[in-house]
Structure 1
Amino acid sequence: MVRKKSSLILCGAFLFVAWNALLLLYLWGRPPIGRLGDEMIRLAEEVEVHLDTQKKLLKQIESHRAVWARQKDRLQKTQGPLRNDVDVEFIIPILVIACDRVTVKRSLDRLIMYRPSAELYPIIVSQDCGHAETARVISSYGEQVTHIKQPELSDIKVRPEHRKFQGYYKIARHYRWALNQVFHTFSQSTVVIVEDDLEVAPDFFEYFRALYPILRSDPTLWCVSAWNDNGRDALIDPSKAELLYRTDFFPGLGWMLLKELWDELEPKWPSAFWDDWMRQPEQRKNRSCIRPEISRTITFGRKGVSLGQFFDQYLRYIRLNTEFVPFTKQDLSFLLKEKYDEIFIQEVYSATLVKIEDLQHGGHLKGPGPYRVQYSSRDSFKVFARNLGVMDDLKSGVPRTGYRGVVSFLHRGRRVFLAPPEGWTQYDISWS
């Protein structure tokens, strides 16, 4: 099935290139007449650029087909023949989004060090920017990774006030192109996306392999993330590396999605700011992600298009898990919505209701909690969050790490739920 689909892709690409070549010859061969001639020349030049792009893409497809075929052969020898209906699903590719940072080496070194199988977890590095030194670093890994290059490197036309955001437009364009390569060119059914400034934990691959069936079986989930926005040392329980949660906030920073979701999102993919776009209710559709208590990724990339936003204040302090948790040997069905909600609501609203002053001074509080602090407005949430040390921003009304409006964390060693009143029904998108 995969070989057949690849052949169809190559055939289609060849026909497209041939058609555009004939069109180009036709346009160049006609004599220009005034404005019509100028317009035809402009059109011919555009077609020529597009044709060159398609040629580059075709070369990339051809160069990587042999590598992926060898990987599949090795997998069949070690695992036995694979059934067609599970062949693609059995593989979880890792897509590394790269640009012009040679420190991508740190990301790739950890991924290769920790992955248990090159065949089960092929690494695809998609590079934008055309940065030669970064390309040399990636190419130095040989067949350990598949190196593809975004062929469209031109600036994007934006309105004047968005010129300073050119980088965000190029990132969105690159994501769209790279994900189309994974799902359509390489015919994969799922992918884990990391960026070139992320370092992964020892159980990173174990984490995603164990959670893939949950993501596949629960339509109220749309991603699995390795990231905890409130994952600083003071806010997490270091003894509970196995703790997993549902969250309504899209975390990103090392996340898994299915091809079905990409088929839904790709036609309306935004021109910029793709991650905040993902957090809008029109995209989220009341779906949630899974996230860990202790992050399975950390970012070391202070320099980037966001100019270090949040890095110095929050991101540099996120703790990376170091304890290997055998998630594939655990029953994770508690994360399915019906089971999870019943337990979660009971735990949150049976917790002792306290004032923020009680937590800050805490002399008369007995035991590790859990305790509940209740907010009733956007302003009260932000004040309480700021004073308790958790991130206070909201996207489309959803707090970071929040589930049903509840943010769970540790404060001075006590479990705390920063929660709306009981009976919560929906987020208020004006709280942004």
Structure 2
Amino acid sequence: MPSSPIFVTGATGKTGSRITSRLKARGYDVREGSRSGVIPFDWDQPATWPAALARVSAVYICFQPDYAFPGALDTLAAFAQALAGAGIDRIVMLTGRGEPAALKAEAIMRRICPSATILRSAWFAQNFSEGSLRDAVMSGMVPMPGGDIREPVIDVEDLADVAVAALIEDHHASQIYELTGPRLLGFDEIAAILGDAIGHPVRHVAITFEAFHAELERAAGRTFADIVTEIARETFDGRNAHVTGGVERALGRPPCDFTDFAKREAEAGAWRETQADPAPDPAASPTPTSHLMTEKDTTMTPSLYQKVILGLGGVTALVIGAAITLFPAEFYASYGITLDAEPNLMSELRAPGANLAALGGLMLGGVARARWFAAARMIALTVFFAFAAGRLVSWVLDGMPDSNVLIALGIELAIGVMVMAAAGRGRHRPVQ
């Protein structure tokens, strides 16, 4: 057993979490790759890669958000070069069956790291028991495009077993394992099997790709919807309607059948109602799903433009708040306002100054952490528009202020408008 850690990207996702738990159960040291990890790792921040890969013996790659996204293949190529430069030759890479961008990604990895093992996966069975499709199943429907297409759905537990074997055993180098379940199933059959396991009717609701796209766009934005819908059109055209022996070739045993998967998940409570779950309603209106073979639900990853704008707001609030807190007399003197040092007055000025500085810090937190971005953006909008609104109210009630205050009003409005205008310029990716 190697003493060096095994690096698992997407360690909190569907596959990564299972791989991590299996490796730890066998006594392996696992370095969990995520933006919030002990050693942070971010696909969009190459500066985080060297520390994450230091002294690593093997790597599991689950690229986020998808190989079809703009710039994804360039990022993967750079990461593969980093792996080669670090001397890591035991690499296990997850891709999607039948996806043209995934085939390009595989070619890049095998050219730079020839010993890499490729896990070319079918559609996940767990898409029906975890994430947004679970809610659809709970409501009595499986809303999917693709008509009567048939898929050899795979249990992610099987995929995780194959990945672990490839990470710790010697004979999987340079292999391509096309991983499927043991039989083809249409979505009508999948719905019926789920209904039998859960104990209430579940039906397949056929939707158009246009409706699928519209729901994705509402949930995750136009770019995400365009790319994922195109992947669905490509992979739901019948090209994947065949079973392979990849699981058996890798593990020496057959894959789990979807019926057994559904029974197991039902017994484990995957579709058990909680207080937060609505009662199943098979007659409810069909709602397209926004979950297509992804590791987890998506979140906004802010663009560089959004980070700069929010960072500008955060620095402005932090600096002004700190100045008011520490040097109130000097700060207000710059506005032509003379203050005496009366303690009550100083207290009433320093307290909101400290509050403004703290809010500026929270805005900067949204620049550093994508999962905090939405909340930090709302804080920025509230702070700058509230300050501007207060100045406008004073203008109406107290008269026109001097030029310094008007400049401050203009800056506050400008930052608020820029933060608002920056909405939607990021891209969506699964939360790690």
- Normalising TM by the smaller chain, what interval? under 0.3
Q: TM-score, normalised by structure 1?
A: 0.24
Q: Which has the larger radius of gyration?
A: 2
Q: TM-score, normalised by structure 2?
A: 0.24
Structure with a larger share of its residues in strand: 1
